[in-house]
Structure formats: C-alpha cells, structure tokens
Homo-oligomer: A and B are copies of this chain.
C-alpha cells in the first residue's frame, strides 16, 4: 500500500508545490500588527486545505492570531492517535533590500550546485514543513480513502512572536488535543543525505531593555562631555554580558546547566561536523562561544546570551550630533538543562539595573520564556519513526541536538501529557529568519514521502 501512496505523492508533486505557493504568498508576519489580516488569511487557507481532505477543520480565535484545529479519525483504531503541530506564521522580512526577489512571491530556483529550491519567506520555517505532513495525508486519503492512524492537527499563528495565546489555548482544549504522541515538523536533517530526529533543544528567554538618560534628545556640542549618553550606558551593559573567554557573566546564569555526558560528546565527535565548515559556510572561521567547548557543544548543549537588536540615537543617512534620550536593545538567552527561564530573566534584570546610573532609568519588556528540553529516546514511536525515515532516505536516521528553541515540546508534555517527536527536513543553509529563505524541493518532496512512511510505521 505504501508504494501506491509514494507513487501518488510523486505524481502529485507539481500540484503540491502549487498549494505551497498559495500559502507562501500570504505575508503572515505575526510579530507585526500591520500583517494581522494576512495571519487571519493564512489560518483560513490552512483550515480550507484540511477541510478539503475530509478533516473536521476549524479556525479557532484567540486573543492574538487564530489556531487551526482539525481531526480525522478513520485510521486503524489500534494505532496511536497523533497530534501534528506546525505554524503558519513567519518572521519579518527586513532587511528587505537584501532579498533578491519579493519575499512573498515564491519561486523555484536552481542553485549553483544544481540544487532545486523554493525561495520565499516561510518556505522552510514553517509553511513548507507543515505542508509536507498535509500532503502526506492527502496522498494516503487519495489512495486508500483514509489515514493509517487517527490524526489531529494543530496549526499556530504566533510561533515567531512568542506564542502568547498557546498555553491558555492548550489548557482550554486539553481534552481535544491530548493524544498518544505529538509530531512536530519545525527542525532539520543532519545533512542533505541523513534524516534526523531532534532529541534536545535549547530554551529561550527574551528581554527588551530601554535605557533613558536625559528627558529629551540633546545637542552633543552643547551637552557633550557633561550629559550622560544612554548609548554609552547600553553599550557597557551589552559589552559586560560576556567575558574574554566567551562565558556569560550574569551571576547565577549557569545554575542548572549540566555537563554533557562524555558518551554524548563522543557521539557528536563521530558526526563528522567541523567548525571550519559550519562557520565557513557563513563567512566566519573563529568560534565565538565559550573557548573551552567544541562548536557542537556551544550550539547544542551550552546556554547563550545574544543581542538580537540594538538602537540608539540617529541611524539614518548622514550624521546628527545628538545625545539621544533613549537607547534600547533586544537580548535573548538560549537555555539548557534545568536553567529556569524566570530565574535567568531576574538575574539579567538585576545585572542591567546594577549598571544604570542613578539619574537614568531602565524599562524591561519580557518576551517569551521556555526551558531547554530533552526528548525521551526510548519510546516505540521514536523507533518506528527512525525506521520510516531511514527507509525513505536509504541511510540510518540519527538523533541530534538542536540549538534553537521549540517551547511547544515542553507545553505538550506539561499541559497535554504527551511526548513529542521532532522530525523535519530543513537544512542549515535554508536562511530561515534571514533574507532569501529557501526550502529544498527535495526536502519538500521527500519530506512528504517521509511522513507517508512514518504514518504507516506508526500504524504498526
């Protein structure tokens, strides 16, 4: 039966791509209120796509962007009921001038090495990925009239903006959403040939800080030398975050950070990963993190502090000799092990406050807060999924760490009592969150085939 489903997927690829392009044309940037209508449109599009496949599909309002929830439960009653999760919202597109084409005008392109890609904001994160699952369902239904296992789908529209509505929604709908295992498609493969399930992920805490000095912008000639410059105050705070060895200096920051077991470090060494290749791919060569850790450890097992944005004073064309009233920064922390997001937030705030001169002030705006995660490695669903992936890619699938944060895994565990499997088909060079985001056509095509196989394996 699986062969007929895979054939159907191959034959339908062009139409699958057309459907993806539809979704990619909707500029569903969740963090920017100007795109609220586009987010609503993307939710409706997803609901329609699922309804067309015979799901009972609904757009569910939240105080923010809507959720899409869908059920189709004609699968084998003895197979596990899966909850599939993806997100239809995307990152902002600035600096938009660095995009070679309109971020929301998806196109197929062939890279210098012959690799075929889909270029658009959201192609890899996460519209292309979530559709791999939907298209796999479509093929199963087309060939067999039903799905191999009962499926519930949850699509979120606020993943790129801190998921403010998610926890209340999961709590309010726990009965409807809690099933045997969650499948999440928002991660990557190990490399172009090797499929992977992500076994650990870093958490995330974000803080925006706004430092205020004088009560108005000042002329640097009239006031310079005597009046406090908030750019200087902010630069000092941000510079103080790391010591010379790349270690974060906030007192208590490393509380709860475990040492990675020697055996895991050995496995990672066997992955044929080199810092030179990884950093070289983006034009760098010197690892910037803790100098006594390998790059893979820096990425998968160590917490970080990153200044994601900073601004103060005049930043337009030309020059303006101003001492601004305010300067601000967005700082995020990746967390591992048992680091407590709220403890890290409090420690950071104390660290900042201690560096604010007595006649200046600081405001804090929290953004997100999720701990690091480790996925259970010994479930039968993990084993069956690895098997399905290995068959599709003709290479053993591996369990890897991840540097990014997918807080939903923790929420599914805590609120719905479910384990998650993180299966995705992205690549490090997909430029997610960057200009010219792309998703390999092979990721999309073989991603659909992979899900078709995983669903079959899960049915047993």
* A interface, CB within 8 angstroms of B: 30-33, 91-92, 94-95, 98, 160-162, 202, 204, 206, 208, 213-229, 231-232, 234-236, 238-242, 275, 278-279, 282-290, 295, 298-299, 302-304, 306-324, 327-330, 332, 334, 357-360, 367-368, 402-405, 428, 431-435
Contacts and interface: CB of A to CB of B under 8 A. Distances in A.
A153 to B, nearest CB: 24
Protomer copies: 2
Contacts of A284: 213-214, 227-228, 359-360
Most B CB within 10 A of own CB, among A223, A234, A295, A332: A223
A219 B368 CA distance: 16
A313 B307 contact: yes
A226 B293 CA distance: 10
Contact of A32 (B91, B95, B318, B405): B318
Contacts of A235: 234-236, 238-239, 307, 310
Q: Ordered nearest first, which 5 A-B pairs have the shortest CB separation?
A: A221-B404, A31-B318, A215-B283, A239-B239, A309-B313
Chain B CB count within 10 A is highest, among A33, A221, A286, for A221
A255 B323 CA distance: 25
A330 B228 CA distance: 17
Contact of A309 (B30, B312, B428): B312
Given A232-B239, A295-B226, A434-B322, A282 B215 contact: yes
24 contacts: A31-B317, A91-B320, A98-B216, A161-B319, A208-B319, A216-B435, A217-B433, A219-B433, A220-B304, A220-B308, A221-B403, A222-B299, A225-B298, A226-B288, A227-B279, A227-B288, A228-B286, A231-B306, A231-B329, A239-B240, A306-B321, A308-B322, A309-B312, A310-B312
Contacts of A323: 306, 308
Given A32-B318, A310-B310, 17 more contacts: A31-B317, A91-B320, A204-B221, A214-B283, A214-B284, A222-B428, A225-B288, A225-B334, A226-B299, A229-B307, A231-B307, A286-B358, A308-B321, A309-B315, A309-B324, A310-B315, A319-B332
A200 B449 CA distance: 77
Given A217-B435, A231-B238, A225 B310 contact: no
A196 to B, nearest CB: 14
Contacts of A31: 316-320
A122 B146 CA distance: 73
B306 A224 contact: yes
Contact of A317 (B32, B327, B360): B32
Nearest to A278: B226
Given A223-B299, A318-B32, A310 B313 contact: yes
